[in-house]
Structures are given as structure tokens and as C-alpha cells.
Structure 1
Amino acid sequence: MKDASVSICPVPEEQRPVNEYQELTESWFFSWGTLDWPQYLTKLAWVWAWSCSISGPLAAASFAPAKYPAQFALCGAAGAGFILGLALLRLYLGWFYVRSRLWNPTVVYEESGWYDCQSWPKTPEVLLQDQLIVNYQLEPILKRLRQTFYGLISLLVAGGLIWNCL
């Protein structure tokens, strides 16, 4: 039997924050944040490797690989890192949006279009459930994405320092 507070919720099913969260966990791209560390890093390594196929020729146009191999490698890796950073940013923003929808005590929704915005104050039970999801499910995902950003930035800074030594 469904909880009475959920059944009186006027928010359409697809706009309920808990359903948006579930949708992200089941999506192809956003589910990467829920994977174990080795699987997660493997996905990111694939993005970086495919990004090298874009940034490599651009780096080769600037630095001939035979004449400047270190500059070519650093420039290609930095370009691939930039594309990886964009993918990570998209992951972070998607999860952060759902986090803010779950954490907020009111749900803003649209009944039939963008012009009829409504809001529904969450019941204490729904708010508690949503905040538990944020604390125990979303915060670890967002923490992992922040750590990945810090690692990527560290690698880019290290590449810049190596570049200055060349």
C-alpha cells in the first residue's frame, strides 16, 4: 500500500525528485558515478583515450611528433584532459541538479508547460526520505566526482610544470 502523503502529491511522476534520481541511476552516462572505482576509472580512461583521437591530430599540427615528441604528447594529453573535464562537468552538474531537487523542501514543477510553474511543499516524511537519499547516495557520488576533478587538475598542472622544464 502506498503512503498517503505520496498519493496526494500533485507533482507529475516524471518530475518528482526521487524519480529523477532513479532515472539518473539507470541512465547510460550518469550511472558511471555509481560504479565501483575500477569500473568508473575504466570508463573515464576510455573517454580520455577517445579524446586523444581528437586532440592528437590537433597537437600533431602544432608540434611534429618526430621533432617535438614531449610537446606533442603533453599537448595531446592536455587536450584529451580538457574533453574529459567537460564530460566530468556534465556528470557533476546532472547529479548536483538532482541533489538540489531532493534537498529542497519544496518541489517546483510544471503541469502542462513552462508558463504554469507550481510548487508543492514536501511533507516531513518525503523530505526526510529525500534528505536520506542525498546524504547516503548522492554525496558519495558528488565527492567522487570532485576527487576526480582534483586529480585531473593535478595532472594538468604537472603537465604544465613539465612543459616549462622542456
Structure 2
Amino acid sequence: MNGDIKKSSISARCPVPVDQIPIKEYESMSQSWFYRWGARSLQGYLVPIISLWLLSWLVVGPMAAVSFVPAKLPLQFMISASLGALILPVLALVQLYIGWNHVCDRLSGQSVFYEESGWYDGQVWEKPEEIFNRDRLIADYQVKPILLRLQKTFAALCGILAFSFVTWQFI
């Protein structure tokens, strides 16, 4: 009961519109079919990336075949089509990163910028210590691991890109 009183008194003091409260933004993203993808198991995380990559081949494959005839230049065709097909997964991963990074910044900050009715009337609310600590824990233990996974994915993609460019020099 005491927790309910404490929670309602904090909510009463919070002037931030409900959809702009950092914890609500986190909960909304955690339930979103797209953003939830970053928090899945390794297999659940990799399957959409690979699926987007394979789907991109439908567009990129024919374009690469025009430039590098697969029968005559199979390695050039494979490298160019594979790298070109990375565009769709990279765009999806960038959107995931931007979204989760935004929520992480809002959870980690001591103050919250919010808009009452539009862009022209922004305000700043200082979080009480207990809300700040709760939000920081959520950012540290729920959101930052997702961001770290995405950073590792980007590093792996950069490694693939570098390997492809080096390989291209020798063919």
C-alpha cells in the first residue's frame, strides 16, 4: 500500500505527458515488434538480419549480374551483390540503434525534456532521485546490452566490408 501512495505521489508531481515519460517510452519500445528484435535471443536476433539480407538479393542480385556476369566473374559478382544486399539490414540496424540510444539517453539523464503541446513550448523536468536511480538501472541493465549487441553487429559488418575490399584488390 505504501508503494502505491509513493508511486501516485511521484506521478502527481511529474508534469511530463505520459507518452514522453522515459520509462513509458522504454516499455513501448520493449513491446514494439520492431524494437523488440534487438532484445531477442541470438538466433532471434540474427534471423531477421539474414532474412533482410536475402530479401535484398532480389533487387541487388540482378543489378550486380549486369555489372559482373556471374559466369565470367563469379567472385566479383558475389562480393558486389553481397555487399549491396547489406543496405537493407544496415538501415534496419541503424534505426534500431537510433531508437534504443534515444531511450537510453532519456533514461540515463537526470532531467527530461518534454513538449507540452508542440515543439515551441518545451520544458525540462528534473527527475527525483528515486526515479533517476530506477531509470538509470533500466538503462544500464536492459537497454545498454541491446546497444552493445548492435555495436558488435556494426563492428562485424565493418569487418566483412574490410575483408571484401581487401579480397577485391587481389582478384
TM bucket normalised to smaller: over 0.9
Show structure 1 runs of 5+ residues with no match: none
- The normalised TM-score by structure 1 is 0.95
TM-score relative to the length of structure 2: 0.93
| Partner in structure 1 of residue 117 of structure 2 | 112
Q: 1:13-52 counterparts in 2 under 5 A?
A: 13-52=18-57
RMSD across aligned positions (CA): 1.1
The SS at the match of 1:108 is strand
Match of 2:16 in 1: 11
- State, as a whole percentage, how many aligned pairs show the same letter: 42
2:159 match: 154
Structure 2 equivalent of residue 129 of structure 1: 134
Q: Does 1:140 align with 2:145?
A: yes
Structure 2 unaligned blocks of 5 or more? none
Q: Whole-Å Cα distance in 2 between the matches of residues 24 and 61 of structure 1?
A: 41
Q: Given that residues 108 and 120 in structure 1 are in contact (C-alpha distance below 8 angstroms), is that contact kept between their aligned partners in structure 2?
A: yes
SS of 1:135's partner is helix
| Runs (4+) off by over 3 Å | none
Separation in 1, partners of 2:52, 2:31 = 20
State the one-letter code of the partner of 2:125: W
Q: How far apart, CA to CA, are the structure 2 residues paired with 1:22 and 1:74? A: 40
How many residues get paired? 166
Q: Does 1:74 align with 2:75?
A: no
Q: Secondary structure at the match of 2:16?
A: coil
The one of 51, 57, 71 aligned to 2:62: 57
Secondary structure (helix, strand or coil) at the match of 2:46 reads: helix
In the alignment, the residues of structure 2 paired with residue 30 and residue 132 of structure 1 have an alpha-carbon distance, to the nearest angstrom, of 19
